[in-house]
Every structure is written in structure tokens, then in C-alpha cells.
Amino acid sequence: MLQKLFLVFAFCALTLGTFAQDAYLNAKSEDTDKIYPGNTPYEVKIYPQKFKAKKPKNVIFLIGDGMGVSQVFSGITANQGHLFLENFRHIGFSKTQSADNYITDSAAGGTALACGVKTYNGAIGVDADTVKIKSILEEAADKGLATGLVATAAITHATPASFIAHQPSRNMYENIATDFLNTDIDVFIGGGNDHFTKRKDGRNLVKELEDKGYTYETDINKIAKVKSGKLAGLTAGVHNGRVAERGDMLPVATSTALNILDNSKKGFFLMVEGSAIDWGGHANSTVYIVEEMLDFDQAIGKALEFAAKDGETLVVVTADHETGGMALTGGDMSTGMVKADYPTTSHSAIMVPVFAYGPGAEEFMGIMENTDVHDKMKKLLLSK
């Protein structure tokens, strides 16, 4: 009897030990994902603050999807104390609430920034009554300015879609792709090739784009060689992979778009989205967030390099919302190590930063609504 009890006790202890070991390994794995160990920093250049005019000829609008102050500071820490964002002396905060929710999604947040209206979560380029509202990109095109969109996600995803499409739901990807044919956008680079070519209605929108004069490419190296004309760069079936897979696609795409748009004598509007900072937040992965934040900052560096040389370009950087409620719980500026924790895998309601550089940058200081960011850019670029 004692032998049986001993065997039962031993089995339970072994089982509990195995469970405890599994729990430890899982926790260790999760903790590892929440710690960015650091890497070799890239060089950050500081640009002059002197500009040729009081109003901009061009606007470059960069959106870090899911980027709150913690995400920004995780990048500063990871790059051992410096980001290109340090060039921005005019800084404010944006309230992100949507028309129907204290916590916005990317569609409503993107539409507020693109069109200047608060709308319901899920809406793309329409107001709360599903009425189409022209975006700043479309209004710029109407006035003869060149226009462009760049994203690491599908170009048909919520944020970029808000600047060119008008649909009641962000999930209507094929309808959103069709909307690209309704606007004379000069260049767009991102994922989403399947929404143009593998459609339920059988249409090949790439063929239709080519008939309208677009150069179509899927390889970022070939895309980078395009210097003029209209460009449709669709670099993935749906979304581009993480930085390790896609490389410097976002900074290269940003530079490519600027090279093309700079041919416009009237000026241009370009929106660039660092899409996957948000996905790192949803995954509660500090490593993912930091990788994407550093990649986005290098795209910001390309925008600043252009703006500093040009002298007539306003650069605005903000987010549609924050994701994960990221809390920095440790770090080391000398090594780039970042440690964080998260109360949620969803979006949060906190204000997000707004950074501005160039002619009119002083307009973007203080606390504002997300729709105010749109209104200020539109006034500076289009009210002439």
C-alpha cells in the first residue's frame, strides 16, 4: 500500500514538475519576446531648421500605426539614444477617439487624418452616415499636385485605404483596390497584389492600371529604379513580411516615391505608413515593435533628407492610435536593450504624439483632435 502511495506521489510530482517546467519555458519565451536585446545603432543626422518659405509646396505625412510615446522611446533606447525624430522641434498630441468608440480602429483613425471627419470604427473614407468625404490626397490631386501612398502593409489596408477609397467597411479589400482606378494617384507602393489580380469578379486591375499608363512592378529593387511617370508597386500578395524578410523596403519605397513626386512643378502630397508597429503591439512583442519603430524612423530619415535639401517641404509624423498600452519597464541606452510589458493586445485610448518639421511646423503644437492634423495640413498645402 505504501509502495502504491509512493508511486502515485512520484507520478504527481513528476507531472507537476513537467507542468512547472513547461510554464517556466513558456514564460521565459514570452519574457524573451518582451525584451529587445539591442543591436548595432544606425547613424542619425541632424538637419538644419532654415526653410525657403512660410508655407509648404509639398507635404510628407508619415503615420506610425500603433505608435505611442512608449513606442517612440523604445526606438530611441534601442538606437542607443537617438532617432531621426529628434529633428522635430514642434511637437503636439492628438486625441484619437472615433465617432462611435472611445478606442478607435485604424480605419476610423485613418479616415480622421485623411478626410478630417470623425467616423465609426471600420469606415474607410466615409463619415458616420457613410457619405463619401474627399481625402487630402484626392483634393491635392484635384488641384494638380502629384500624390502618393507607401505602406508596409497591403496598400488596400485600413490606413492607406482611407486616403484613396470610400467604402463602408475596411474589409472590402477588392472594392478598395477598385477605388485606386478612380483617382489620378501618381505612385503607390505596398502589399496587396492579390486584391488587384486574384479577384472574385475576375478583373485584372493591374492590366487596367497599365492601360492608364502605370508602370507595374513587384520587386522592390526594380521599383527603386523608376524615376518618373506613374508607378504601381505591389510588393506582396497581401502584407509584406517583417523587417528580416522585407529588408529596407519602407525607406527605399519612401525615397522612390519622393524621386517620382519631385518631378511635379506644383508640389505633392505623400503619405507613408509604418504599418507593423501596430502588429508588434497586438502581439505584445517588444522585439517586433522595436524592429518596426527603427525601420519607420529610417523612412522618416529619408523624408527629412529630402525636406532639408528642398526647403519647401513640411514633414508631419503621427499615429492613428496606440496599440498594446506599451509600458517600458527596463532598458539600457548603452546597449540598446528595451524591456516592456503590456496590459492589452488591443488598441488603447491614449493620446499619440504629433511631430512637425518644415514650413508651417509651428501649427502642430499643443493638444489637438486627430481631425485637426488633417485640417492644418490641408490649410497649409492647399489654401493658397
**Active site amino acids:** 106
What DSSP line would sit under 120-135, residue for residue?
-TT-BSB-TT--B---
Question: What is the pairing mode between strands 352-357 and 313-318?
Answer: antiparallel
The per-residue b/e assignment along 220-234, b for 16 or more CB within 10 angstroms, e otherwise, is beebbebeeebbbbb
Cell of 204: 485584372
CB 273 within 8 A of CB 160: yes
- Residue 151 sits at φ, ψ, to 5 deg, of -155, 150
Q: Are 132 and 119 a contacting pair, CB within 8 Å?
A: no
The residue type at 370: N
Tell me if 224 sits within 8 A of 276, measured CB to CB. Answer: no
The conformation of residue 363, written as its DSSP 8-state character, comes to G
Is 383 strand, coil or helix? coil
Measured in residues, the chain has a length of 384
H or E stretch including 5? helix 2-33
Alpha-carbon Rg for the chain, nearest whole angstrom, is 23
Among residues 374, 381, 342, which one has the least CA distance to residue 360? Answer: 381
Nearest in space to 309 (alpha carbons), one of 363, 258, 360: 258
C-alpha cell at 168: 463602408
Please give the single-letter amino acid code of residue 195: H
CB neighbours of residue 99 within 10 Å: 17
- Sign of torsion, CA 232 233 238 239? negative
